[in-house]
Structure 1
Amino acid sequence: MKFYNLNFHKENKNFSQVLKIGLGKNQGLFFPMNLPKLNNKIIQDLLDLNFIDRSSYIISLFLNEKEILLETLKTKIQKAFNFPLLLKLIDKNIACLELFYGPTLAFKDFGVRFMAQMLNFFNKKSKIIILTATSGDTGAAVAHAFYNMKNIEVIILYPYKKISILQEKLFCTLGDNIKTIAIKGNFDDCQKLIKQVLNDKELKKELCLNSANSINISRLIAQICYYFEAYAQIPLNQRKKKIIISVPSGNFGNLTAGLIAKTIGLPIYKFIAATNINDTIPRYLKKGYWKPKKTISTLSNAMDVSIPNNWPRVIEIFNKNNWNLKKLESNSITDIQTTETIKNVYNKYKYILEPHSAVSFCALKSQIFKKDTFNIFLGTAHPAKFQDYIYNTLNQKIILPSILINCMKKKNLSHILSNNFSNLKEFLIKNYII
């Protein structure tokens, strides 16, 4: 399959090419030339497969077998998706898709580990520098997925003092081919700096640059797979109901993958884009004008994004399917609502939410009282990452997984830079060119 640049439609490339370059001309996102559409029989057959076999088939729809054989692809997927995911029933018609059992305890392990396996396969000679910005969980997933990989260097930017200590320790203590930079700004500033680097003629000439943010289409293709697995785990007596999925949304990559799954043929009735008070998209959908505000720090910090990178892809999906964008439901949730939701869900169901899954649940709650719906909210991070907050909110201690215990003992190796492109460029030249 070919992928085209949303900002320059004449630029068409295959999967291995877009995997390596990330962004196209004019900082354009790549998008599949043709979104595959499968009939009900094929969808049902896929749902009967195990996660790895089903994922291999789905991902193969976006690759050319001349690029990678199906059996080889399957082997890479097995290495990437080497951890479970669970649709946890909270009530008869409510379930959490728990996506936090990977090595860095967040859903981003799926997309980033697949991207790493693919880059490792397709890049045999040249040295690639992976650039990524993180508002919380992406950094850890990228760092661990690419750690000690030959011919790959990783640089991670994150907002200084705006992520939790546990999140920071997960990716700022590795060293070797992983460099981390704390930027004195917010996440949107980090994203802007990454785009400036990728668009700088001198750096592009001297370095082979790529990005592991969700601007890289490989991550989104991998994430399609767990929506199919979620549906496969829905109890059979619930599948005839309207399936509604609430997606905690920051950069909107997760939602993009879900919408592609629906386009392919997965029978999802409706998606809800759940945001925190960084509400550019809910306001845009309700009022019809694009007016991002300054990013505000919240409890659900991985979603502290005012200018979502993947929004052009969302619009493209709606256009290609002739769907009405106004019918996309998007709800903004405050920190007060987030905390109250965590308390209420624990008191009623004895289930512990962390802030991101709480935003997702809260945005969904208007649907759960309808008898004809089965409602899924995404659990995108392990509650242990917010141990202190959970204890202060619920008076419940969460035992830290071993990976968090081990990284807490290690030294933070991060560099600190001002929110200035010239300083970042100087850092790159000093460390990677001279």
Structure 2
Amino acid sequence: MDFYSTNNPEHRVSLKEAVIKGLAPDQGLYMPESIPVLSDSFFKRLPNLTFQEIGYEVIGELFGEDLEKDQIKELVDHTLAFDAPLVKVEEGIYSLELFHGPTLAFKDFGARFCSKLMSMLMEGEKRKVRVLVATSGDTGSAVANGFYKVPGVEVHILYPKGKVSSLQEMQFTTLGENISCLEVDGVFDDCQKMVKEAFLDPELNEKMLLTSANSINVARWIPQCLYYFYAFAKLPQLGKKLAVSVPSGNFGNLGAGILAQQMGLPIDVFIAATNVNKVVPDFLLGSVFQAKSSMPTISNSMDVGNPSNFFRLLALYGNDENELRDKVKGFYFDDEDTARAMQDVKNASGYTMDPHGAVGYLGLRNFLKIHPNEFIGIFLETAHPGKFKSVVDRVLGLELELPERLKAFMKGEKKAESLANDYSQFRQYLLDSAS
């Protein structure tokens, strides 16, 4: 299957070029030229399929023209090596827990898929691949651990100084080996801007092979659709319509859910739930999409003022803004709302949400209030609460016990270079690292 640029549908490339380049030359995001619709028989069998069996069929439909069956199986088995439980939180509301992977965040799925597929596609190549990653928290840890010690790959992670949790920071700055980290004096959007500038720099691209492992890369983005199918398979069939609320920052996760929907998955409505960085909810309420400087919140992984994947959302609906507004509902919440939701759910059910999951829960609750008794709902719990321990402890008045995997990261030594919010300095850093 070929992939086209969201900025120019006439620009088409192979799967290998889309994955290795990451971003189109015109700064567009790559999209599959067509979206396959799964058969009725697949959906009849869906409740009885394992996570891996779902993956074989869905990825087979999307990548079957480019990969052999044994490659698809190897790729899916590597990606789906852990569970994504669906947990009942209260009547009619379920949490899809996506934090059971190596770094305890949903991005483990996409990072493992991306690193494995990239190594498959680059087999036999003599050039070293340099992966550039901007992170607001969880992307850095997932990509660093997914690509750690992968032969022929160097990873450079840019993150905003003082704006990721200490645990998130330790998950990617303590590895070393082929993982290099740059602590940028700015916000996430500044990091993302520098990465995009590097992809468009002719001299850099002549001297080195650059790619991305952010959700702008199709290999990071597409596999996220798999857990939507799995969640639906595990959901009790109560004869109601289904609403899925996605806590959103760069909007790749929501886009992957819409991809699953367009492949035939019967999700009736998506909810885009954000913190006060609300450029997309504002758009969904009728405003013109306009990027803004991001504002810091306790749900820091969603502190994005210029979400790249917004243009994927549009592309999935044929660039019809009204269609997008009709099919996706937007809500936003401040830190006080988020903290109160964490407390209320903990007191009522004993369930501990992280701040991002709490935003997703709030989006769902607000939507269900508008449509009483009509929907059953799922919200995505995107990270283990322990990754935001200081916030969770303070909000809930407890001392959260960290899983052993998270404790191990805190014992490492931070290895990161400071970088000004200046593309020329980042450019020189890359040139020096290649010499």
Question: Which position in structure 2 is the counterpart of 1:69?
Answer: 68
AA of the residue aligned to 1:230? A
Question: Which position in structure 2 is the counterpart of 1:429?
Answer: 431
Q: For residues 194-220 of structure 1, give each alpha carbon's deviation from its aligned partner in whole angstroms, at most 9, with x where no partner exists.
A: 000110000000000000000001122
Question: Which position in structure 1 is the counterpart of 2:359?
Answer: 359
Deviates more, 1:37-46 or 1:23-32: 37-46
Instruction: Map residues 44-83 of structure 1 onto 2, 5 A cutoff.
Output: 44-65=44-65, 67-83=66-82
| Partner-residue secondary structure (3-state), 1:319 | coil
AA of the residue aligned to 1:216? N
The answer to whether the 8 Å contact 1:94/1:368 transfers is no
Q: For residues 338-360 of structure 1, give each alpha carbon's deviation from its aligned partner in whole angstroms, at most 9, with x where no partner exists.
A: 00110111111111111000011
Q: For residues 127-146 of structure 1, give each alpha carbon's deviation from its aligned partner in whole angstroms, at most 9, with x where no partner exists.
A: 10000100010000000000
| Structure-2 separation of matches of 1:257 and 1:19 | 16
The answer to whether the 8 Å contact 1:220/1:254 transfers is yes
Question: Which position in structure 2 is the counterpart of 1:117?
Answer: 116
Question: Which position in structure 2 is the counterpart of 1:171?
Answer: 172
| Partner-residue secondary structure (3-state), 2:432 | helix
| Structure-1 separation of matches of 2:341 and 2:64 | 45
Question: Which position in structure 2 is the counterpart of 1:8?
Answer: 8
Identical residues among aligned pairs (%) = 38
AA of the residue aligned to 1:180? C
Shift of 1:191: 0.4
Instruction: Map residues 21-420 of structure 1 onto 2, 5 A cutoff.
Output: 21-65=21-65, 67-124=66-123, 125=125, 126-236=127-237, 238=238, 240-319=239-318, 324-327=323-326, 328-368=328-368, 370-420=372-422
| Structure-1 separation of matches of 2:139 and 2:281 | 23
| Structure-1 separation of matches of 2:388 and 2:64 | 42
The answer to whether the 8 Å contact 2:133/2:213 transfers is yes
AA of the residue aligned to 1:276? N
Q: For residues 295-332 of structure 1, give each alpha carbon's deviation from its aligned partner in whole angstroms, at most 9, with x where no partner exists.
A: 10100000000111111110011127997222221111
The answer to whether the 8 Å contact 2:314/2:320 transfers is no
The answer to whether the 8 Å contact 2:105/2:383 transfers is yes
AA of the residue aligned to 1:34? S
| Partner-residue secondary structure (3-state), 2:285 | helix
The answer to whether the 8 Å contact 1:367/1:373 transfers is no
The answer to whether the 8 Å contact 2:243/2:268 transfers is yes
| Partner-residue secondary structure (3-state), 1:202 | helix
| Structure-1 separation of matches of 2:271 and 2:40 | 24
| Structure-2 separation of matches of 1:52 and 1:278 | 35
| Partner-residue secondary structure (3-state), 1:429 | helix
Tell me the TM-score normalized by structure 2. 0.96
Deviates more, 1:122-131 or 1:361-370: 361-370
| Partner-residue secondary structure (3-state), 1:228 | helix
Name stretches of at least 5 consecutive residues in structure 2 with no aligned partner. none
Matched residues, number: 430
The answer to whether the 8 Å contact 1:241/1:372 transfers is yes
| Partner-residue secondary structure (3-state), 2:318 | helix
| Structure-2 separation of matches of 1:346 and 1:81 | 29
| Partner-residue secondary structure (3-state), 2:223 | helix
| Structure-1 separation of matches of 2:133 and 2:21 | 13
Question: Which position in structure 1 is the counterpart of 2:20?
Answer: 20
AA of the residue aligned to 1:297? P
Shift of 1:41: 3.1
| Partner-residue secondary structure (3-state), 1:366 | helix
Change (3 A) 1:291 1:6: closer
Shift of 1:37: 1.6
| Structure-1 separation of matches of 2:40 and 2:67 | 27
Name stretches of at least 5 consecutive residues in structure 1 with no aligned partner. none
AA of the residue aligned to 2:235? I
| Structure-1 separation of matches of 2:322 and 2:43 | 21
Q: For residues 45-92 of structure 1, give each alpha carbon's deviation from its aligned partner in whole angstroms, at most 9, with x where no partner exists.
A: 234321101111101222144x32112211221112211110001123
| Structure-1 separation of matches of 2:388 and 2:6 | 37
| Partner-residue secondary structure (3-state), 2:340 | helix
| Partner-residue secondary structure (3-state), 1:424 | helix
Deviates more, 1:71-80 or 1:126-135: 71-80
Change (3 A) 1:26 1:367: closer
| Structure-1 separation of matches of 2:365 and 2:63 | 38
| Structure-2 separation of matches of 1:322 and 1:364 | 22
Tell me the TM-score normalized by structure 1. 0.96
